[in-house]
Amino acid sequence: MPRATKRRRKNRGMPPPASFDIDTLPSSSNLTALEAAAVIRRTPGALEQWRRDPNHPLKWRYVDGRPLYRVDAVRGYLAGCDKATKRPPPHNARGDGRAARP
């Protein structure tokens, strides 16, 4: 009786950095999910989760049943992330503009 073959599983890890420069591509170019994940340095599984949220800032479209990301959408997402990662200045707990005394 032959042994059962192992089921191949998807590689769910972080893809290697992109081998291309996203700034040199035309804005109308499409990226696969793996290429987009490599550019923004996330796992393909994270992009899959994000596609379940229709209001996610990274936009995609399906072509022949496969999700594709436009280069201008990826650039816009990265630009929005740069703005979002800057922390606001700390505020005091009093709310009246005076600092708390130690």
| C-alpha–C-alpha distance, residues 16 and 34, integer Å | 10
Is residue 38 a part of any domain in this protein? Answer: yes
Residue 32 tokens, joined: 């696969």
Is residue 78 a part of any domain in this protein? Answer: yes
Mean pLDDT by 10 residues, the chain (102 residues): 71 84 92 94 92 92 95 93 65 57 55
Is residue 77 a part of any domain in this protein? Answer: yes
> Does the pTM of the predicted model rise above 0.75?
no
Residue 35 CB contacts under 8 Å (≥ 6 apart), including other chains: 18, 69
pLDDT of residue 35: 94
Question: How many Cβ atoms sit within 10 Å of the Cβ of residue 70?
Answer: 18
Structural domain that includes position 64:
32-84
Residue 62 pairs in a beta bridge with 67
pLDDT of residue 33: 93
Is residue 2 a part of any domain in this protein? Answer: no
pLDDT of residue 59: 92
Task: Count the domains in the chain.
Answer: 1
pLDDT of residue 9: 75
